[in-house]
Amino acid sequence: MPEDCQLDMDRIPQHIAIIMDGNGRWAKQRDKKRSEGHRAGAETVETIIETAARLGVKYLTLYTFSVENWDRPIDEVSSLMELLFDSLKEEMLIKNKLRLQIIGDMKTLPEKIQEKLRECIEDTSHESGMTLVLALSYSSHCEITEATRQIVRMVQKGEITPEEITPDLLSQHMSTRSMPNPDLLIRTGGEVRLSNFLLWQCAYSELYFCDTYWPDFRQKEFYKAIEDYQGRERRFGKTSEQIS
């Protein structure tokens, strides 16, 4: 950790979610192809994963590919899928004792990627370190809609009454039900929006937006985001006096 970094190791966020934005603009700024920006971003992914694991983060969720991303040019989507396949390094996961999980509609991904993901999930299921969650072909709207459908079916079968539908019940039908909600959500690249990412789960997350493009978001920037988080008072609707 850099000498000028003042992180409180007792207050590291348990769950960090990241919207990795700015690969294309990073490439354009350097007169490179967008695919080169994505490859540079993949290097940052590995750096941030290893850094988060060393800091003791329990869950790291990366917005890797959204449902809306399928509407990008075919060449770019194909390039992203190849990069995703190449980036699934089982040895890196095992070296860092990471457990891999996926949220999103995995069955829409190319079959070879589905197979590799299933392999990595199975082979890391026993690991006791950080859980790395990749949001792939993910849409928060779709997730909430599917959770609602499941609950409606329960009502139709008479398993519950409408009055028994609670926020906790809805959370239990989300793809993130096995993990805590994010404490900190980071978005790089200068945009200030959530882009259909973990909308239900981030109701009380601390949000951190920065102008740095994802390929340049290295350890120092990551520490800065956590330092900012540690300087905030999380009240969850209560007063400062109640929290203290």
Catalytic residues: 21, 69
Of 50, 25, 27, which Cα lies nearest the Cα of 37?
27
Where do the DSSP E strands lie in 152-233? 184-187, 206-209
Of 104, 88, 179, 101, which Cα lies nearest the Cα of 136?
104
- What does the alpha-carbon distance between residue 1 and residue 54 come to, in Å, rounded to a whole number? 10
In the block, tokens 């039908």 appear at: 173
For residue 132, the surrounding DSSP H or E stretch is strand 131-138
- What does the alpha-carbon distance between residue 139 and residue 218 come to, in Å, rounded to a whole number? 26
Of 145, 127, 138, 121, which Cα lies nearest the Cα of 17?
138
